[in-house]
């Protein structure tokens, strides 16, 4: 069983992003990976942790120029090279910044110079004061004695290039012994919307994808979605979310944009600020995703908190709105005159403004409250509009006939949205 294999991930911290991606990718596939950021126990020193590399079934080494110049990384290499069958148990992933010129002589010189510097320092100080440096000197001598052989091993073994891994994880999966039926990341379509405009058939969709899949697989998934939709659309937007609550906060970790080459320029929407792409699909990775995720998390409320807070405000604003609408109907039927109607509207305008302001000062709702909060926001916007149309500061903005027409429209919207709001509220019970 592949799940029973123990895999050690060795890397330079300058390649942390790739290490994280590989770690997350294998974790999704059900594989446990040992690495420094979570493998060192309190009762175990870092050196002891690195020595445990030999007890693993497989070792993934992310070889870069920084890796070959890192004493900690090379210590892990030396420890693993002590194993008689290490070549059969190592998977090498190599960056193109590794210098293979002169078969590793340049790296040998690097370590020789570093060793000489330490030796000179030792000679200038009392032996007891530089004992740790003597241990470091011994380690560097071991690296000097093995670096050429290790470089030769890298060249002789079939390694995976960083840039090839960015295109597909298929070879890595095969080396590990992991069978994947489908290389693309699994996704779920959450919402679909026809946002056509003019002569452009526009389509927007929100999909749920685990962001810890490697980028190459997420890109394949985006390509698959576009391919399935492009025949019936001119413009396609895809917003990829990691969790349902991210959708409520519009905190996508990735979005893509495709436009048909046959669409006239005048109907093309603004392009996204892409930082990646696949064929004719533009892709933008949200580098601020985690930061915003933490922000939203710290400012989010539970369903019960959101309901309690919203009920308190609705109990205040709905009666005010209904009374204003009654006054408006009375004014239209000449039961009250213009002066009495406006006096009522002006008197309650400030209260409505304050409630509208409070309605925006809420915690971020969970995904299950999304529809309810949309209706909630609509109610407060409608009520504010009704009073806005007849406010003192806007008496000269619109003619009286226009104000009456707009109020009539908002009155009808109010009762329609209020009914929808109550329906969504019952669904949350």
pLDDT digits (tens, 9 = 90+) for 392-416: 998 888 999 999 999 999 999 999 9
Q: What is the pLDDT of residue 203?
A: 96
Mean pLDDT, the chain, integer: 90
Under 8 Å between Cβ of 123 and 129: no
Kindly indicate the confidence band of residue 231, based on its pLDDT and cuts at 50, 70 and 90.
very high
The tens digit of pLDDT for each residue in 270-322 reads 888 999 999 999 999 999 999 999 999 899 999 999 999 999 999 999 999 99
Which 3 state secondary structure label does DSSP give 314? helix
Q: What is the pLDDT of residue 332?
A: 94
Least confident range from 13-22, 322-331, 342-351: namely 13-22
Q: What is the pLDDT of residue 204?
A: 96
| DSSP codes, 134-200 | HHHHHHHHHHHHHHHHHHHHHHHS-PEEHHHHTT-SHHHHHHHT---S--SPPEEEEEEEE--BTTB
> Is the predicted pLDDT of residue 45 greater than 60, yes or no?
no
Least confident range from 173-182, 232-241, 272-281, 373-382: namely 173-182
Kindly indicate the confidence band of residue 43, based on its pLDDT and cuts at 50, 70 and 90.
very low
Q: What is the pLDDT of residue 318?
A: 97
CA distances for 304 relative to 245, 310, 369, angstroms: 16, 10, 10
Under 8 Å between Cβ of 385 and 268: no
Kindly indicate the confidence band of residue 57, based on its pLDDT and cuts at 50, 70 and 90.
confident
- The pTM for the full model equals 0.71
C-alpha 10: how far from its chain's center?
25
Least confident range from 109-113, 325-329, 346-350, 394-398: namely 394-398
Q: What is the pLDDT of residue 42?
A: 46
To 10 degrees, the CA torsion angle through 402, 403, 407, 409?
20
Kindly indicate the confidence band of residue 1, based on its pLDDT and cuts at 50, 70 and 90.
very low
> Is the predicted pLDDT of residue 37 greater than 80, yes or no?
no
Which 3 state secondary structure label does DSSP give 256? strand
The DSSP call for residue 242 is: S
Q: Which two tokens stand for residue 214?
A: 């490697």
Share of the chain above pLDDT 70, in %: 93
Q: What is the pLDDT of residue 126?
A: 65
- Range 314-341 average pLDDT: 96
Q: What is the pLDDT of residue 242?
A: 95
CATH 3.40.50.10140 fits domain 2-176: yes
> Is the predicted pLDDT of residue 359 greater than 80, yes or no?
yes
The Cα–Cα gap between 128 and 340 comes to 96
| Long-range contact set of residues 48-53: C-beta below 8 Å, sequence gap at least 24 | 50/75, 50/76, 50/79, 51/79, 52/8, 53/8, 53/10, 53/79, 53/80
Q: What is the pLDDT of residue 396?
A: 87
The tens digit of pLDDT for each residue in 169-182 reads 999 999 998 887 66
Among residues 320, 326, 421, 334, the alpha carbon closest in space to that of 369 is found at 421
Q: What is the pLDDT of residue 29?
A: 86
Where in the sequence of the chain do the CATH 3.40.50.10140 domains occur? 2-176
Kindly indicate the confidence band of residue 183, based on its pLDDT and cuts at 50, 70 and 90.
low
- Range 324-338 average pLDDT: 96
Kindly indicate the confidence band of residue 40, based on its pLDDT and cuts at 50, 70 and 90.
low
């Amino acid at each position: 069983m592949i799940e029973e294999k123990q895999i050690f991930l060795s890397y330079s911290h300058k390649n942390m992003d790739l290490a994280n991606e590989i770690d997350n990718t294998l974790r999704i596939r059900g594989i446990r990976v040992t690495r420094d950021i979570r493998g060192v126990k309190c009762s175990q020193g870092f050196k002891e942790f690195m020595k445990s590399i030999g007890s693993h079934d497989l070792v993934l080494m992310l070889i870069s120029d920084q890796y070959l110049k890192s004493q900690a990384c090379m210590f892990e290499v030396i420890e693993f090279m002590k194993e008689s069958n290490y070549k059969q148990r190592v998977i090498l992933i190599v960056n193109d910044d590794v210098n293979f010129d002169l078969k590793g002589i340049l790296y040998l010189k690097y370590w020789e110079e570093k060793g000489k510097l330490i030796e000179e320092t030792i000679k200038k100080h009392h032996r007891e004061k530089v004992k740790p440096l003597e241990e470091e000197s011994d380690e560097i001598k071991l690296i000097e004695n093995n670096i050429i052989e290790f470089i030769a091993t890298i060249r002789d073994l079939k390694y995976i290039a960083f840039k090839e891994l960015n295109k597909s994880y298929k070879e890595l999966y095969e080396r590990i012994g992991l069978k994947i039926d489908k290389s693309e990341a699994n996704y779920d379509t959450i919402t679909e919307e026809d946002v056509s405009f003019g002569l452009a058939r526009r389509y927007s969709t929100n999909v749920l994808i685990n962001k810890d899949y490697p980028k190459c697989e997420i890109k394949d998934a985006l390509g698959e979605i576009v391919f399935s939709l492009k025949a019936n659309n001119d413009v396609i937007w895809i917003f990829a979310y990691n969790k349902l609550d991210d959708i409520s906060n519009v905190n996508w970790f990735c979005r893509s944009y495709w436009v048909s080459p046959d669409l006239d320029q005048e109907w093309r929407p603004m392009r996204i600020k892409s930082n990646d792409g696949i064929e004719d699909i533009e892709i933008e990775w949200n580098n601020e995703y985690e930061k915003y995720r933490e922000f939203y998390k710290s400012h989010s409320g539970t369903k019960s908190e959101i309901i309690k807070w919203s009920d308190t405000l609705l109990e205040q604003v709905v009666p005010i709105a209904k009374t204003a609408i009654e006054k408006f109907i009375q004014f239209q039927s000449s039961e009250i005159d213009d002066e009495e109607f406006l006096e009522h509207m002006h008197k309650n305008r400030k209260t409505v403004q304050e409630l509208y302001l409070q309605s925006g000062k809420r915690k971020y709702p969970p995904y299950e409250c999304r529809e309810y909060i949309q209706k909630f926001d609509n109610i407060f916007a409608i009520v504010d509009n009704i009073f806005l149309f007849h406010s003192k500061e806007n008496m000269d903005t619109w003619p009286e006939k226009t104000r009456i027409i707009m109020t009539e429209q908002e009155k009808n919207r109010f009762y329609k949205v209020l009914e929808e709001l109550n329906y969504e509220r019952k669904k949350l019970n």
